[in-house]
Amino acid sequence: MYGCGMDNADVRSRLTVLAAQRGASLAQLSALIDRNSSYLQQFVRKGSPRKLEEGDRRRLAEFFGVTESELGGPEEKNVTVGRIQRADWVDVPRLALGASAGPGAFPAGEGPIGAFRFAARWLRGQGLDPAMLSAIAVAGDSMEPTLRDGDEILVDKTPRPLRDGIHVVRLDEALLVKRVELLRGGHVALASDNPAYRTIEVPMGEIGVVGRVVWKSGRL
C-alpha cells in the first residue's frame, strides 16, 4: 500500500509503471493535466517539480483508476469504499484521434488523452468487455443526423464476424466512421447517413475494421 510517506522517487517510478500499463506517454499525460509536453518527463527524470501538485495528482489518479496515495497523496481513510467504487466504475480510454465522418482522417497517434467513466454494471448489461472499448471523437458531417461533428463514440474492438452496422474502419490509412453493408462477391459498402455523400464500394480486403460503434455522446 502506498501512503503519504511514499518517497518521491517511488512516486516517479509508480507513475512510469502506470503510464506503461495504460500505453500512455508522459507527453500525453502532461497534456491531460494541461501542462507543457515535457512537464512529467522532467518530473520523472529530473525530479522537477519535486512532487505533483494536488490537482495534477487527482486528475492522474482518476485517469489511472488508482488512489491518490499511489502518486504521493495522503493515505485514504476508507480504502474499502475506494476499492468498491473502482469496481463499480470503469474508465474507458479516450484516444487522441478522430474518426472522420467526411473525407477521411489520418491519425497521428493513438495514445489516450483522457477517459470516459461508465458503470461496470451497465457495460455488462450491454454485453461489452471494458478491455475492448475505446472512445474517439467524430469529425465531419457525413453521418448526420445519426452522428454529428464532435460527438464522442464508444467503439467495441472485440473480434467477431463483420455484420451490417456503423463501424470505424481504416481505408488507405484513413480512419472512417461509416455504415457498413456486406455485399455479394466479397465487397462491402461504406455508406453515409447524410445523402450529400456517395456510398463507397470496396473489396473486403481493402478495409481494416477497427470496431463497431455501440454508443454515442454529443451536445444537444
Report d(CA 208, CA 107) in Å as an integer.
14
Residue 5 predicted with pLDDT over 60: no
Report d(CA 25, CA 36) in Å as an integer.
13
Residue 135 predicted with pLDDT over 70: yes
- What the block records as the C-alpha cell of 64 is 489511472
Q: What is the pLDDT of residue 108?
A: 43
For 26-82, what is each residue's pLDDT tens digit? 888 888 888 898 899 999 988 889 889 988 888 888 777 778 888 888 865 543 333
Domains within the chain, CATH numbers bracketed: 8-77 (1.10.260.40), 89-217 (2.10.109.10)
pTM score, two decimals? 0.58
The H or E element spanning position 108 is none
Q: Is 11 helix (H, G, I), strand (E, B) or coil?
A: helix
What's the length of the chain? 220
- What the block records as the C-alpha cell of 116 is 470516459
Q: What is the pLDDT of residue 111?
A: 56
Q: Is 202 helix (H, G, I), strand (E, B) or coil?
A: strand
Report d(CA 33, CA 151) in Å as an integer.
22
Residue 96 predicted with pLDDT over 70: no
For 141-200, what is each residue's pLDDT tens digit? 999 999 988 888 999 988 888 899 999 998 887 888 999 999 998 999 999 999 999 999
Q: What is the pLDDT of residue 180?
A: 95
Give the pLDDT band of residue 104 (cuts 50, 70, 90).
Answer: very low
Measured between alpha carbons, how far is residue 54 from residues 46, 72, 137, 150 in Å? 19, 9, 29, 31
